[in-house]
Structure 1
Amino acid sequence: MARLVSVEHGLDPVKEHLSNQGYQVVDPDEWVRPVEAVIYRGVPLAASERRGVAENTALVNAAGLTPEEVAMQLENKLG
């Protein structure tokens, strides 16, 4: 089964790259089961935005990173 990750709206190149790498990508407001990682940009997620995010979910700030760099950070965090 593909790894499920949530990618913030507006990060379309990241979504496309991760999909091409075999990830199942969902929008933050669409997941129905826990995701393994949340990709966002800017400030860390506020508590209200962490609904359904497990304590061990990887968080990757995509601000200033290329889609390839985001994928590398994601791989490092997920192992």
Structure 2
Amino acid sequence: MKNIAVQRGLKPVSEYLSHAGYKVFEFDSRQKDDKDFLDGFDAVVMTGMDDNLLGIQDTINNVPFIEARGMTPEEIKETIEKRIQ
């Protein structure tokens, strides 16, 4: 089972991914600044990719970040599957 971090406020995405068999953990903007919080995730789904994204990328390598803005839950799931093969 893949572990996916989903930014709080993206409830339809969280629910869709949970029903699709992913283990989903919600996080808020304060948690994403914690260097250890996102360790162990297979992908991170969030909005506002430009908000401190460099700080996150410095702490996690090889974890796909998916910008949810403008995407349906189905499109997000497809993107996750393509990036974590």
- Bin the TM-score by the shorter chain: 0.7 to 0.9
**Counterpart in 1 of 2:25?**
26
Q: Distance in 2 between matches of 1:32 and 1:64?
A: 23
Stretches of structure 2 lacking an aligned partner (at least 5 in a row): 32-36
TM-score (norm 1): 0.81
**Counterpart in 1 of 2:44?**
38
Q: Would the alpha carbon gap of residues 78 and 45 (structure 1) be closer, same or farther in structure 2, given more than 3 Å must change?
A: farther
**Counterpart in 1 of 2:81?**
75
1:16-67 C-alpha deviation (Å, 9 max, x unpaired): 00001110000224x575111100012335144x28x520111110101000
Paired residues in the alignment total 77
Q: CA RMSD for the aligned pairs?
A: 2.3
Identity among equivalent positions (%) equals: 29
Stretches of structure 1 lacking an aligned partner (at least 5 in a row): none
